[in-house]
Chains A and B, each alone.
Chain A
Amino acid sequence: MIDPADLAHLKEIPFFQRMSDSELRKVSALARARSLEADEFFYLQGDPAEMLFLLKAGRVKLIQNSADGQQILLRMIGPWSLFAVVALVEGAVYPVSAQAVEPSLALYWTKNALMELVREIPGLALNAMQMMSERVQEYQDRLRELATERVERRLARALLRLGSQAGKRVPEGILIDLPLSRQDLAEMTGTTLFTVSRILSQWEAQNIILTGREKVIIRFPHGLVRIAEDLP
């Protein structure tokens, strides 16, 4: 059951859009909550996809392990974002692991609850398709970037994407409000820690960004846009 104060947040989430108050109450009645300490996992890659999560507080990273043990950061999740939409698909397994970066609280719906909801509220299935297609589009863009673009452009795009997903205005610029290490950025852009450090230092000297411990502030957004879009 969701706190009535949270219903307003629910309405803002694309997955729950165009739903009546009574439908939202039904969604809320079937929700459960799970809270985790930092470094614990909501689910592991390869587990049967049995639950859809909505992060209420904290930060979660979605990571994928390759066969040779390498770990890749695919996405950072902030409050009021859904993850594990794959739970709507019959017989699916989680393609990634979801690990709490800090103490986190998530609402979740079991597969049975989801199936019940989709049968009663068919609009939910359309909203889920919309969400999945946006994710596919984003990953297609990233695949194209990996295959065709210079590392500088990939890194600029990754920072812009993170800025739009988790950016917060601060006096120095736009703070990417996530604990973000250089290793995370290297994993997201398919390059080495050394290369990321070299490029970030260069951008810092040009006053495009400001970095701190696990922190990036975009000081001059257009500077990054110019690199990402190869503008003159």
Chain B
Amino acid sequence: MKEETPADPSILNRSVADLLRAWPETIPVFLKHRMVCVGCCMAAFDSLADAAENYQLSSTQLENEILSVVRRSIRP
């Protein structure tokens, strides 16, 4: 069985579109915060920090929520 490794925080430098493509499990996090990033054609240009700022959310909190979902997933 493949061992789960903690997600590298550098994944947070990827665009929101990249994150959503690589880890669709993170979709509910965006929906919970009523963000329209899922399916948005500008998601390719914004980082998670940009998205947090757009919705006046704490970027640290949003990044931690995304990282915790990614860490539960075993895919790269």
Contacts and interface: CB of A to CB of B under 8 A. Distances in A.
Q: Do A and B bind each other?
A: yes
Interface of A: 160-161, 163-164, 167, 169, 174, 218, 221-222, 224-225, 229, 231
B55 to A, nearest CB: 8
B36 interface: yes
Contacts of A163: 41-42, 45
B36 A221 contact: no
Contact of B36 (A161, A218, A225): A225
A167 B40 contact: no
B54 interface: yes
A174 B50 CA distance: 14
A229 B44 contact: no
Contact of A229 (B36, B45, B46, B50): B36
What are the 4 closest A-B residue pairs judged by CB atoms, nearest first?
A: A164-B41, A221-B42, A222-B54, A160-B41
B41 A161 contact: yes
A222 B46 contact: yes
A169 B42 CA distance: 11
Contact of A169 (B36, B45, B54): B45
Contacts of B46: 221-222
Contact of A224 (B42, B44, B50): B42
B36 A160 contact: no
A223 B36 CA distance: 12
